[in-house]
Amino acid sequence: MLAVVALMVIFRVPMVWIEGIALTITAFFFLTMTWLNLHGIAHGAGVWPSLLWGGLVYLLAYILLPPKQAYTFAWRYYLLLLLGGLVALQYDRNPDALEGEQLSDTLQILLSNLGYLWVSRVLVAFGLRAEADRAQALQMQKLVDTDALTGCLSRRRFLEELRQLLERGEEGALILFDLDNFKQINDTYGHPTGDLVLMRSVKRILHNLREEDRLGRLGGEEFGVLLPGVGLEEAAQLAERLRRALEAPGSEGPNATASFGVTLFRKHDSVGELFDRADRALYEAKQAGKNRVICSPI
């Protein structure tokens, strides 16, 4: 087995194949040893010490396979061991051998493997529970980190990512934007239509962002964009592109425009100071007539 695994590693065979081959060789070895031992017991032999390690097959299955597959493999393995063992016991058997100590040895082998099978079932149950707990934890984390309506970052997660950028001293820019006259859209067309406008706006914004950029919903119709490694001029150009994307006509609800405030990270900025500058620029854009981009002075 070691030679086969070594060759597979040398030739860069996928790890999942290596694990499968290792498990198959181990299972075949112990099946063969068990059948031969049971055949020997039928002729007066005792239990071979090597079979004390037979539980490794069940343990390896649990380690190398997903929980449900591990248990399926385990009970099929035991079924093969049991059926093959019964054949081995009967094949050319000495009619006077399988009694007393020999019978005890046979039961010891078959029942110990049944015990290993039960233990593997317990391990699989714990594994499935752990998988469910991990999935639930991930789902809960996703609910905390993601805005339920639009799918972009929640306010808490957005602020956390901004705080991390500032703590690392990275350069970048922050854009705040607010949909213009959104309350009027809700009052005129209803909140379901307003939700469609929000989702459409987020979709258009994400289409224009890089993979490393972050979009967060800060509350209501207000959003923020984090642009790591971007200068003020580039951020202003992106904000203008986003503004044009949002004002373009669409089939999902009425047209909507947005006002933008842009600011650059400064050395030793706090989250509050950065937000204040971007918010003042956004307020100026609103006061100047909306649907425009205003940059905060560096």
Please tell me the predicted confidence (pLDDT) of residue 98: 58
Task: Tell me the β-bridge partners of 70.
Answer: none
Q: CA angle, 143 as apex, 140 and 146 as ends, to 5°? A: 145
Q: What is the mean pLDDT of residues 138-164?
A: 81
Please tell me the predicted confidence (pLDDT) of residue 206: 92
Closest CA to 239 of 287, 175, 286: 175
pLDDT-derived band at 142 (thresholds 50, 70, 90) equals low
Between 5-9, 132-136, 183-187, 259-263, the lowest mean confidence (pLDDT) is in: 132-136
Looking at the predicted structure, is the pLDDT value of residue 141 above 70? no
Looking at the predicted structure, is the pLDDT value of residue 219 above 90? no
Looking at the predicted structure, is the pLDDT value of residue 205 above 90? yes
Give all strands of the β-sheet with 214-219 in edge-to-edge order: 214-219, 222-228, 172-179, 258-264, 293-295
Looking at the predicted structure, is the pLDDT value of residue 190 above 70? yes
Q: DSSP character for 249? A: -
Q: What percent of the chain has pLDDT over 90?
A: 34
Closest CA to 4 of 23, 24, 21, 29: 21
pLDDT in tens, 230-253: 999 999 999 999 999 998 887 777
Task: Tell me the β-bridge partners of 217.
Answer: 223
Please give the CATH number for the structural domain made up of 155-295.
3.30.70.270
pLDDT in tens, 47-105: 888 888 888 898 888 888 888 888 899 999 999 999 998 888 887 666 555 566 778 88
Between 41-45, 93-97, 265-269, the lowest mean confidence (pLDDT) is in: 93-97
Q: What is the mean pLDDT of residues 136-153?
A: 75
Name every residue whose Cβ is closer than 8 Å to that of residue 73 and which is 6 or more positions away in sequence. Answer: 23, 61, 65
Q: Do 33 and 48 form a contact (C-beta atoms < 8 A)?
A: yes
Please tell me the predicted confidence (pLDDT) of residue 254: 86
- Helix ranges (H only) for the chain are 2-10, 15-41, 56-64, 67-90, 101-145, 155-167, 182-189, 191-207, 232-247, 271-287
Residue with the two structure tokens 């070594």 = 6
pLDDT-derived band at 292 (thresholds 50, 70, 90) equals very high
Q: What is the mean pLDDT of residues 275-297?
A: 92
Residues tagged active-site:
221
Q: CA 215 to CA 199: how far, in whole Å?
A: 13
Between 30-44, 98-112, 180-194, the lowest mean confidence (pLDDT) is in: 98-112
Please tell me the predicted confidence (pLDDT) of residue 101: 76
Looking at the predicted structure, is the pLDDT value of residue 29 above 60? yes
Q: CA angle, 263 as apex, 257 and 265 as ends, to 5°? A: 145
Residue with the two structure tokens 């959104």 = 182
Please tell me the predicted confidence (pLDDT) of residue 295: 92
Please tell me the predicted confidence (pLDDT) of residue 138: 67
Full-model pTM: 0.57
Please tell me the predicted confidence (pLDDT) of residue 97: 57
In terms of Cβ atoms closer than 10 Å to its own Cβ (0-12, 13-18, 19+), residue 179 is: buried
Task: Tell me the β-bridge partners of 260.
Answer: 177, 293
Please tell me the predicted confidence (pLDDT) of residue 6: 84
Task: Tell me the β-bridge partners of 11.
Answer: none
Please tell me the predicted confidence (pLDDT) of residue 234: 93
Between 133-137, 182-186, 200-204, the lowest mean confidence (pLDDT) is in: 133-137
pLDDT in tens, 114-129: 898 888 888 888 877 8
Q: Do 164 and 245 form a contact (C-beta atoms < 8 A)?
A: no
Query: What is the domain partition of the chain in residue ranges?
Result: 2-144, 155-295
